[in-house]
Structure 1
Amino acid sequence: MPAIEQPSTTPAIVPVILSGGSGTRLWPVSRPERPKQLLALTGEETMLQLTALRMEGIVGSGRPIIVANTAHAAMIEEQLSAVGLPDGLIVLEPFGRNTAPAIALAAIAANDPAAALLVMPSDHVITDLPAFHAAIAKALPLVSDGWLVTFGIEPDAPETGYGYIRMGDALAAGVNKVASFVEKPNADRAAAMLAEGGYAWNAGIFLFRADAFLAALAQFQPDMLTAIQASVDGAVREGSRLFPDAEAFAASPSDSIDYAIMERAEKVACVPVAMGWSDVGSWDSLHAISAPDAAGNTVRGDVLALGASRCLVHTDGPRVALVDVEDLIVVVSGADILILPRGKAQEVRRVTDALKG
């Protein structure tokens, strides 16, 4: 694909990859010790590898900063090395404090106030990379001017599982000021917003200068900024790994970037984009983005489907045989087996809650 040139006034983009999630909605394959972002669910590469590889073709993009769980450090290093990605900085959270503190760690650890941070969850799918890169190019001039930019997904269905962004006035071609953020709606409200137009799904992908984000944090979350700054000041560096001070980090409030910053700041813009995006938040959503066979089945592993239709079957070992069934999700991982109807994938949470005791 053609390379994206950045405006001369814009510094190199630093990818910030958030990899702290546990991915429990894809149990039993995804588990806290090896969550979905470290698994190859949609292709040969893992979701983390695919996320990092999205920066190819963007001129001047810098080495990534990955904010992750300490337990995953070795796996992350191995996976980035396996696909020939440059060494980055792995910032290892002592424990989870949601996305705002995680991004603050990266903004401070970047050690460059003018750095343009491209914040990406590590467990999303984007199939149209040229569209994503074009959206980044649209955002860069505003980023240089201190705007906090979010990338909204052009909705194609009245989804109730996502938050929405309501577009305000146009700031440039394909870029709008954010009028408001909308909580996850019920079905009627989602259908009304889709019919009205001017809304986008909130994908949790952002682009802003480090100093603009930290200034907003100082204004709206000063206690968080103080705690995160202290945790980085007291951090220990071991090769590519940075260990923030746990005691200082524990003093930070836990909050998402949306609640802590984006819903409060004045200079917030959105670039709506259709780029083949999915958060792969459930087995149903994985089925939706996969290429089915002639009977509508999506299979991975040793699967024998006889008269089965519209099923998702994922096995990492034992052979699974389905006979004359339809619309099932069957997942086999180690000694665990999950079976449930398609369309009910969110019910996996009941299983993981029950297993916690």
Structure 2
Amino acid sequence: MIIPTILSGGAGSRLWPRSTADKPKQFLALAEDKTMFAATLARVSGQQGFGTPMIIGNAAHKNLIDDELTEAGCQDATIFLEPCARNTAPAIALAALEADADDVLLVMPSDHVITKPQVFLDTVAAAVQAASNGYLVTFGITPNQPETGYGYIAAAQPLDGIQGGHEVARFVEKPARENAQQMLDQGGHYWNAGIFLMRAGDYIAALQNHAPDIAAKAELAHENAARNGHFVTPDASHFADCPSDSIDYAVMEKAEKVAVFAMDCGWSDLGSWDALYELAAKDGDANAVSGQAALLNSKGNLVQSDQLRIAAADIDNMIIVAQGNDVLILPRGQSQKVKELKALLDTSSKS
């Protein structure tokens, strides 16, 4: 049985002002007519061999998560409400402790875009044998450019008797452009998508071996959790004592049996306004406009507005996003400055 395990605790701060602490990007319809959370859930709903999902999210987003599941007709899902953010390793531990040891967890962030869902499902199906044989599986995205904003996975020899899988040679931190280009030229290197497939018992065993403090505190938080219907709230004090670490650092980079399956599934982590432009625009000179906006003699712009009417002329390659009383304006290619701009605005508002 494959248990969809959906991570929904992200803040999505790089997509401000649309994405906020109260309603982060996974609960917004940014790339299609449904929210990213709903799209993630729909990707695995009703599929043969998949069980009832588990959701791990921020306690502050309880109602948002519940509304999404109700809308999808998935009201029997187990929802873990994290009392504080402790990164992905402890979050996944909660799900693994809840599941049967032989259940295979498909761990997915709720804020990714996949435009070829059948390719995604086919690759997951191919990887189940590896997970059933004790491998911790990660999925790599075939790169099409020397991207410096993602970590990379270097593939080693093929798995014996399991088509499409390779053992992992190493994980590579976000590289400089020269190194990214070198990996692209070499082949056998993939973007780290942050999507995983593993038996629950194998993950807990690896966590106990390589990050015993996380394993122990997560187990106590799970054992002493408060339960109310399908909501599970881990014990706050024990969960807060968990070291905050990602599954990559805590487990995947240290474990002995780690495999990678490459997939070309139209993936994007939609981690910036630049990424959304690339997804939305038909070509490099097109404007990607939503809301009440009019552009004259302009190209290559991303313009979004929820209420304000925006009119612009003779501008190229700009990002303009209006949400409520907030307006973001910056050149395309500079969307990494969003956090800095938001902090500057907050500081200015307090003074």
Q: Tell whether the structures are fold-level matches, with TM greater than 0.5.
A: yes
User: 1:315 pairs with 300, 305, 316, which one?
Assistant: 305
Deviation, 1:37, is 0.4
SS in 2 for 1:150: strand
User: 2:336 pairs with 346, 349, 352, which one?
Assistant: 346
Equivalent residue for 1:124?
112
SS in 2 for 1:54: helix
Tell me the amino acid that sits aligned with residue 101 of structure 2.
P
Q: Distance in 2 between matches of 1:118 and 1:77?
A: 21
User: 1:202 pairs with 189, 192, 199, which one?
Assistant: 192
**TM-score where L is the length of structure 2:** 0.96
Deviation, 1:295, is 5.6
Equivalent residue for 2:29?
40
Q: Distance in 2 between matches of 1:355 and 1:95?
A: 26
Structure 1 88/268 Cα, relative in aligned 2: closer, same or farther at 3 Å? Answer: same
Equivalent residue for 2:148?
160
Written as runs of structure 1 = structure 2, the 5 A alignment for 1:89-168 is 89-110=78-99, 112-168=100-156
SS in 1 for 2:201: helix
Q: Distance in 2 between matches of 1:292 and 1:145?
A: 42
Q: Distance in 2 between matches of 1:353 and 1:182?
A: 30
User: 1:49 pairs with 34, 38, 63, which one?
Assistant: 38
TM-superposition CA deviations, 1:33-74 (whole Å, max 9, x none) = 100001010111100000111113531211111100001111
In the alignment, is the contact (CA less than 8 A) between 1:295 and 1:310 conserved in 2? yes
Deviation, 1:303, is 0.9
Deviation, 1:83, is 2.8
Deviation, 1:130, is 1.3
In the alignment, is the contact (CA less than 8 A) between 2:94 and 2:222 conserved in 1? yes
TM-superposition CA deviations, 1:246-287 (whole Å, max 9, x none) = 011111111000000000001000001110000000000001
Tell me the amino acid that sits aligned with residue 37 of structure 1.
Q
Equivalent residue for 2:206?
216
Q: Distance in 2 between matches of 1:329 and 1:161?
A: 19
Tell me the amino acid that sits aligned with residue 100 of structure 1.
A
SS in 1 for 2:44: coil
SS in 2 for 1:21: coil
RMSD of Structure 2 on Structure 1 (CA): 1.3
Equivalent residue for 1:24?
13
Point out where structure 1 has 5 or more consecutive residues left out of the alignment. Answer: 1-11
Equivalent residue for 1:9?
none
In the alignment, is the contact (CA less than 8 A) between 1:63 and 1:86 conserved in 2? no
Equivalent residue for 2:259?
269
User: 2:229 pairs with 222, 239, 260, which one?
Assistant: 239
Equivalent residue for 2:289?
299
TM-superposition CA deviations, 1:68-113 (whole Å, max 9, x none) = 0001111111112213335311101111011100100111122x11
User: 2:179 pairs with 180, 189, 212, which one?
Assistant: 189
Tell me the amino acid that sits aligned with residue 166 of structure 1.
A
Equivalent residue for 1:281?
271
Q: Distance in 2 between matches of 1:273 and 1:295?
A: 28
For these two proteins, the number of residue pairs brought into alignment is 345
TM-superposition CA deviations, 1:195-252 (whole Å, max 9, x none) = 0111000000000000000000110111111101111111111112111000111111
Deviation, 1:294, is 10
Q: Distance in 2 between matches of 1:208 and 1:301?
A: 42
User: 2:73 pairs with 84, 87, 95, which one?
Assistant: 84
TM-superposition CA deviations, 1:113-172 (whole Å, max 9, x none) = 111000000100000111111111110111111110000000000000000000001003
User: Runs of at least 4 residues of structure 1 off by over 2 A?
Assistant: 83-87, 291-295, 352-357
Q: Distance in 2 between matches of 1:146 and 1:26?
A: 37
Q: Does 1:63 align with 2:52?
A: yes
Q: Distance in 1 between matches of 2:126 and 2:285?
A: 41
**TM-score where L is the length of structure 1:** 0.94
SS in 2 for 1:138: helix
Q: Does 1:253 align with 2:235?
A: no
Tell me the amino acid that sits aligned with residue 150 of structure 1.
T
Q: Percent identity?
A: 49
Deviation, 1:291, is 4.0
Point out where structure 2 has 5 or more consecutive residues left out of the alignment. Answer: none
In the alignment, is the contact (CA less than 8 A) between 2:284 and 2:300 conserved in 1? no
Structure 1 265/323 Cα, relative in aligned 2: closer, same or farther at 3 Å? Answer: same
SS in 1 for 2:79: strand
SS in 2 for 1:347: helix
